[in-house]
């Protein structure tokens, strides 16, 4: 039962992901240059006006590589884009890039899959009945600092000192 | 016991200069005040006891997913990020909880939970690190702890009461008080400034851990793209500033300061492998 629930939940994400990946899903929020690389001093390929729909191809640091309706592609700063409501509750744009979800079993429509989604809303929190045993069980999954360091090493993650950011205020 | 020893040591320490000169009552008083502030509200034992009750309440609403490999993965990413924080030695516990809705939570003492729905909306380990970094900083800054202490009026919690809270006294008055305060706090949310602070600190923790620091910003853009009418983000939006205002604040704060870390590790492949295995296990 529990598995069935989880599976339907996952299928919804599959369907959503496939759907979202196929559409132009973001809009420019200002005049922005389309560059030939993810750098501010890269060569400008085109000037793009606000409210232009683009398709996201990939992200590198603070830059997205996007494709315009004309077929032209290039790089723009990530915060020059707004991701409009896609009407999709599913996984986001490039989930399908990972082939995370094989579509073999996802032949149905979104509607059949909506049963059994496990929600968590303000009411669920406001009425939660404590489960102390679940807290105890977390001990079985923790990592030691040495294990975490080994794990980091596998991806060549290197720790470094970086100061915290200032509060920009004005919210 | 520990607190009492520290207290005694500090009093002796404060009085020692008085042996060679005149006893400075003013400075002794200040020392006592400092000791009181340092020991009482933030005492680690108390924080852990409050955290256990808060975590039990949250896990009552959404259970941890029974998949050891997945939970282990999230604990490894989470601890590696937490080791870069100002409280690396807390007993950090991370868990993915069983909900398709999109949210993440932190509880005092080092508990961090993320829903399956949020996890499966991510694209890389750098995004996961950014979200966990945000939650880790709620713990580091004691955002929930302060609110829970105030709401449950347990700022003057004595050692006997702490003991009571820790003795699996699930139905004790104190446990119930913390559980009640947790239900209230986590359904209405923290002060918005706490969320902005956790965002800008989370970005830095991810960067310190060697990840691309733009992961959190990418997740916020994903959140912005989810239709509120879908219901998937009801709790998140009820308890946080809008994704748009978080993106605006974060991009202003990161401007010119994080660019040089943009080429750090994204961990897309390792993340995808873990998610693939998780999805495959769920299908069995």
Model confidence pLDDT, tens digit, residues A83-127: 865 534 344 333 333 333 333 223 222 333 334 688 999 999 999
> What pTM does this model have?
0.80
Shortest alpha-carbon distance between residue B107 and chain A (Å) = 11
CB spacing of A3 vs B284 below 8 angstroms: yes
Q: Which residue has better confidence, A171 or B127?
A: B127
Do B123 and A162 count as a contact with CB atoms less than 8 A apart? Answer: no
Cβ proximity of A36 and A42 under 8 Å = yes
A168 to A43, A50, B244: CA distances (angstroms):
30, 25, 15
Contacts of A38 in chain B (CB under 8 A): 262
Question: A9-13, B67-71, B85-89, B171-175: which has the minimum mean pLDDT?
Answer: A9-13
Contacts of A159 in chain B (CB under 8 A): 83-84, 208-210
- The confidence score (pLDDT) of residue B146 equals 94
Interface test with B, best of A35, A54, A132, A144 (most B CBs within 10 A): A132
For residue B192, list its beta bridge partners.
none
User: What pLDDT, on the 0 to 100 scale, is given for residue A113?
Assistant: 38
**What is the distance between the alpha carbons of residues A136 and B232, in angstroms, rounded to a whole number?**
28
Contact check, Cβ <8 Å, A164/B200: yes
The more confidently predicted of residues A96 and B254 is B254
- DSSP bridge pairs for A46: A34
Q: What is the pLDDT of residue B43?
A: 78
CA distance A101 to chain B (A): 7
Burial of B2 (0-12, 13-18, 19+ CB in 10 A): exposed
Give the tens place of pLDDT for each residue, B113-131.
999 999 999 999 999 999 9
DSSP one-letter string for B23-63: --HHHHHHHHHHHHHHHTTT-HHHHHHHHHHHHHHHHHHSP
For residue B88, list chain A residues with Cβ-Cβ distance below 8 A: 145
Rounded Cα gap, residues B175 and B177, in angstroms: 5
Contacts of A4 in chain B (CB under 8 A): none
Q: Is the pLDDT of residue B73 over 80?
A: yes
List the single best residue of B60, B77, B236 to mutate versus A (max A Cβ within 10 A).
B60
Q: How far is B35 from chain A (nearest CA, A)?
A: 28
Cα distances (angstroms) measured from residue A99 to each of A87, A88, B122, B272: 22, 19, 13, 8
Per cent of chain B over pLDDT 90 is 68
What distance in Å separates residue A87's CA from the closest CA in chain B? 5
Residue B175 pLDDT grade (very low, low, confident, very high; cuts 50, 70, 90)? confident
Give the Cβ contact number of residue A91 at 10 Å. Answer: 29
Cβ atoms < 10 Å from Cβ of B82 = 30
Q: What integer pLDDT is reported at residue A88 of this predicted model?
A: 40
Residue, of A58 and B105, whose pLDDT is higher: B105
Residue with tokens 């016991």: B1
Q: What's chain B's average pLDDT?
A: 85
Chain A contact for B167 (CB, 8 A cutoff): no
B115 strand-pairing partners: B97
Q: What is the mean pLDDT of residues B247-258?
A: 94
Instruction: Give the count of alpha carbons within 13 A of A114, CB side only.
Output: 9
Strand partners, B105: B113
Sign of CA dihedral B51, B55, B58, B61: negative
Residues of chain A neighbouring B254 (CB-CB closer than 8 A): 62, 165
A44 has pLDDT over 50: yes
Residue pair A36/A57 in contact by the 8 Å Cβ criterion: no
Task: Give mean pLDDT, residues A127-131.
Answer: 94
Residue A40's pLDDT band, with cuts at 50, 70 and 90, is: confident
Give the Cα separation of B81 and B92 in Å (integer): 11
Contact B99 A156 (CB under 8 A): no
Q: Is the dihedral of CA A115, A117, A121, A124 positive or negative?
A: positive
Please list, in sequence order, all residues whose beta carbon lies within 8 angstroms of the beta carbon of residue A80, skipping any fewer than 6 positions away.
A28, A29, A30, A32
Alpha carbon B161 to its chain's center: 24
Contact B187 A126 (CB under 8 A): yes
Q: Which of residues 138-157 of B touch A (CB under 8 A)?
A: none
| Ramachandran assignment for B75, one of left (phi > 0), alpha (psi -120 to 50 degrees), beta (any other) | alpha
> With the CA atoms of B222, B225, B228 and B231 taken in that order, what torsion angle do they form, in degrees rounded to the nearest 10?
-50
B187: contact with A, CB 8 A cutoff: yes
Going by pLDDT thresholds of 50, 70 and 90, the confidence category of residue B166 is: low
Kindly give, in sequence order, each residue whose CB lies less than 8 Å from that of residue B244, ignoring residues fewer than 6 positions away.
A82, B224
Q: For residue B256, give how far its alpha carbon lies from the nearest alpha carbon of chain A (Å).
A: 11
Average pLDDT estimate for B76-95: 97
Count of helix runs (H) and strand runs (E) in chain B:
14, 3
- Alpha-carbon Rg for chain B in angstroms: 21
pLDDT in tens, B8-49: 554 444 444 434 444 455 555 455 544 444 443 447 888 988
> pLDDT category, A163, cuts 50, 70, 90?
very high
B4 touches A: beta carbon within 8 Å: no
Give the distance from residue B163's alpha carbon to the nearest chain A alpha carbon, in angstroms: 16
The widest CA-to-CA distance across chain B, in whole angstroms, is: 77
Q: Examine the pLDDT at B140 and tell me if it is beyond 60.
A: yes
> C-alpha distances in angstroms, A125 versus A130, B64, B189, B270?
10, 15, 11, 33
**A9 closest CB neighbour out of B100, B187, B196:** B100
In chain A, whose CA is at the least distance from the CA of B112?
A138
The pLDDT of residue B173 is: 77
Asked if residues B137 and B202 have their Cβ atoms less than 8 Å apart, the reply is yes
* Confidence check: pLDDT of A140 > 60: yes
**C-beta of residue B60 within 8 angstroms of C-beta of residue B186:** no
Output DSSP code: residue B209: T
- Cα distances (angstroms) measured from residue B59 to each of A152, A157, B47, B153, B261: 28, 31, 18, 23, 35
Residues of B with Cβ-Cβ distance to A85 under 8 angstroms: 225-228
CA B267 to chain centre: 23
A88: left (phi over 0), alpha (psi -120 to 50) or beta: beta
Q: Work out the average pLDDT over A2-30.
A: 54
Cross-chain CB nearest to A132 (options B56, B72, B123)? B56
Containing A149, the helix (H) or strand (E) segment is: helix A145-154
**pLDDT at residue A43 tops 90:** yes
Set of chain A residues whose Cβ sits within 8 Å of the Cβ of B144: none
> What pairing do the DSSP bridges indicate for beta strands A26-28 and A81-82?
antiparallel
């Amino acid at each position: 039962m529990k598995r069935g629930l989880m599976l339907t939940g996952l299928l919804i994400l599959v369907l959503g992901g496939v759907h979202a990946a196929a559409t132009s899903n973001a809009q420019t929020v200002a005049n922005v240059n389309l560059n030939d690389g993810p750098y501010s001093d890269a060569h400008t390929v085109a000037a793009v006006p606000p409210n232009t729909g683009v398709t996201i191809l990939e992200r590198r640091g603070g830059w997205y590589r996007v494709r315009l309706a004309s077929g032209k592609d290039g790089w723009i700063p990530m915060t020059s884009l707004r991701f409009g409501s896609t009407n999709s509750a599913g996984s986001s744009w490039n989930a399908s890039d990972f082939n995370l979800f094989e579509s073999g079993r996802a032949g149905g429509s979104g509607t059949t899959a909506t049963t059994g989604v496990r929600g968590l809303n303000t009411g669920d929190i406001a009425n939660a009945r404590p489960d102390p045993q679940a807290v105890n069980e977390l001990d079985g999954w923790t990592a030691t600092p040495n294990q975490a360091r080994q794990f980091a090493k596998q991806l060549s993650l290197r720790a470094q000192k970086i100061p915290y950011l200032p509060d920009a205020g004005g919210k | 016991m520990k607190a009492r020893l520290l207290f005694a040591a500090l009093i002796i320490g404060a009085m020692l200069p008085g042996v060679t000169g005149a006893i400075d009552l003013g400075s002794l008083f200040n020392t006592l005040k400092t000791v009181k502030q340092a020991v009482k509200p933030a005492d680690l034992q108390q924080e852990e006891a409050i955290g256990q009750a808060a975590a039990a309440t949250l896990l009552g609403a959404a259970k941890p997913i029974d998949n050891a490999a997945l939970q282990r993965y999230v604990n490894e990413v989470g601890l590696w990020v937490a080791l870069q924080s100002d409280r690396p030695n807390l007993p950090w516990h991370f868990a993915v909880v069983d909900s398709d809705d999109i949210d993440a939570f932190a509880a005092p003492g080092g508990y961090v939970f993320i829903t399956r729905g949020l996890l499966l909306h991510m694209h890389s380990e750098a995004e996961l690190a950014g979200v966990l970094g945000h939650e880790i900083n709620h713990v580091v800054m004691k955002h929930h702890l302060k609110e829970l202490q105030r709401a449950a009026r347990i700022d003057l919690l004595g050692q006997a009461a702490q003991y009571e809270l820790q003795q699996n006294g699930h139905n004790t008055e104190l446990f119930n008080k913390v559980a009640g305060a947790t239900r209230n706090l986590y359904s209405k949310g923290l002060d918005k400034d706490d969320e902005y602070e956790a965002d800008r600190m989370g970005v830095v923790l991810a960067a310190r851990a060697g990840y691309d620091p733009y992961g959190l910003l990418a997740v916020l853009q994903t959140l912005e793209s989810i239709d509120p009418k879908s219901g998937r983000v009801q709790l998140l939006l009820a308890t946080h500033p809008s994704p748009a205002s978080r993106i605006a604040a974060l991009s202003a704060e990161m401007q010119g300061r994080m660019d040089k870390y943009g080429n750090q590790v994204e961990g897309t492949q390792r993340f995808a492998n873990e998610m693939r295995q998780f999805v495959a296990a769920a299908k069995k």
